[in-house]
Amino acid sequence: MALSVDDVAQLARLARIELTPDECAALAPELEVILDSVAQVSGVAGEDVAPTSHPVPITNVFRTDEVRPSLSLEAALAGAPAVEQDRFRVPQILGEDA
């Protein structure tokens, strides 16, 4: 599939990327290679091949959730340098309002 400089410029506009005409000209052959590669992959996968996200079947390997005894609130907060309203107190970040 041949892409023109105008095609690349249109794609850049749609993606809200500002490209110079020289950059569009340089990207056109690279995008052609990408499109050709995608076309080849699309041609290999026939209707008899199911879409997959992994080459081998995967099953959930996580254990089931079980309620188990854990630390009490007091024990969890015992080593904290600062506590506020039964929570760890941490420094304010990113100018957030307290």
* Within-domain flag for 49: no
Q: Residue 23: give its domain's CATH number.
A: 1.10.20
* Within-domain flag for 81: no
Q: Are 27 and 8 in contact (CB under 8 A)?
A: yes
Show the tokens assigned to 62.
Answer: 């996580």
Compute the CA torsion angle 8, 12, 18, 24 (nearest 10 deg). -10
Domain that holds residue 22: 5-44
pLDDT per residue rounded down to tens, the chain (98 residues): 688 999 999 999 999 999 999 999 999 999 999 999 988 887 776 777 777 777 887 787 788 889 999 999 999 999 899 999 999 998 888 876 65
Half-sphere exposure at residue 28, Cβ-oriented, CA atoms within 13 angstroms? 16
Q: How many domains does the chain have?
A: 1
* Within-domain flag for 85: no
* Within-domain flag for 9: yes
